[in-house]
Amino acid sequence: MKRSAIFMAVLAAACYGISAPFSKLLLEEISPVFMAALLYLGAGIGMLIINLLKGSRIEQQEAKITKKELPYVAGMIALDTAAPIFLMLGLKLTTSANASLMNNFEIAATAVIALAVFKEAIGKRMWIAILFITISSMILSIEDYDTFSFSIGSIFVLAACICWGFENNCTRMLSLKNPLEVVIIKGFGSGFGSFMIALACSSISLHGVYIAFSLLLGFVSYGLSIFFYIRAQRELGAARTSAYYAFAPFIGVLLSFVIFGQTITVSFSVATVIMIVGAYLAAFEKHEHSHVHQQIEHEHRHSHNDGHHTHTHNYPVKGEHSHKHVHEEMVHTHTHTPDLHHTHKH
């Protein structure tokens, strides 16, 4: 299950990695706020089509969002409205490669918020990874080393990362629910929010081809990426999923050099090495000890071959399915991540 989750996280990173360089191209004719709206609307429309094509089969396997999760849904939509606007503004004012690499600061923001707000366990190796990633982000943020001034574009990208750090933790609380439903709500909710801001600012442009490509980019970079990301969060938790997501910026950097022919500076090279070390430490952290599972009742997609779902049925069950079930108290030892089944204290 963990290997499958890691694959999902890397796939999510690959989908998102193309976002910055192609968004930079599309921002030639589309305003940052309208661009943010189109990206999320593309995600919502694309995933809605997939949901309709899949029909009722997926509905039987996945748990629906309930009233209990509405505060997290509201937080997710609000933060996802603000974050891409900050990112698009940053892309307007800094290079695509710089913005791509700085997106890794989202790992540090997600992990710190996961610890401070949601009490997610973070080990020494992850803290060292966070330190490396933060140092790299600071190097990328400095525009002029002689006067030690910060790049406004980089500050906007950092603001986007902080928003997404909070949003990742809101989404983590929804990770046991139907990921298609989550992405559709996120896409239309955040897309509509950004669209209303663009409308109020009179920044909507009617370039048909650019709008079409923006919606397509949104479907791949936001829709499919978020879907795979949520699936990964079920097994890995918020901090570790964002660590594997660290592959995304390097894909964006590579495309940026190919598309825009950007020159590689000394500071960028140093920041890249530091970022790679931080991403590696975060992605390959291992965590194993004896731990207690308290009795809990909840609903989500599951199977009976993972060592955690030992309840019985009065009817034959095959494969993955969803229903309300009880986890009895259990004590055991195995390698694990802080998913929603492993929220124990350390």
So what's the pLDDT on residue 33? 93
What is the arithmetic mean of pLDDT over 202-219? 93
So what's the pLDDT on residue 146? 61
Q: Per-residue confidence at 305, pLDDT binned at 50, 70, 90?
A: low
Q: Per-residue confidence at 241, pLDDT binned at 50, 70, 90?
A: confident
Q: Per-residue confidence at 172, pLDDT binned at 50, 70, 90?
A: confident
Of the candidates 278, 272, 277, 257, the residue with the CA atom closest to the CA atom of residue 106: 278
Per-range mean pLDDT, top range of 52-61, 112-121, 154-163, 327-336: 154-163
The answer on pLDDT for 289 being more than 70 is: no
What is the arithmetic mean of pLDDT over 196-213? 92
pLDDT tens track for 19-49: 989 999 999 999 999 999 999 999 999 999 9
The residue to which tokens 């609903």 are assigned: 299
Residues 6+ apart with CB under 8 A from 131: 278
Q: Per-residue confidence at 212, pLDDT binned at 50, 70, 90?
A: very high
Residue 293 CA to residue 302 CA, distance in Å, equals: 17
Higher pLDDT, 61 or 26: 26
For the chain, which residues make up each domain, given as ranges? 2-289, 291-335
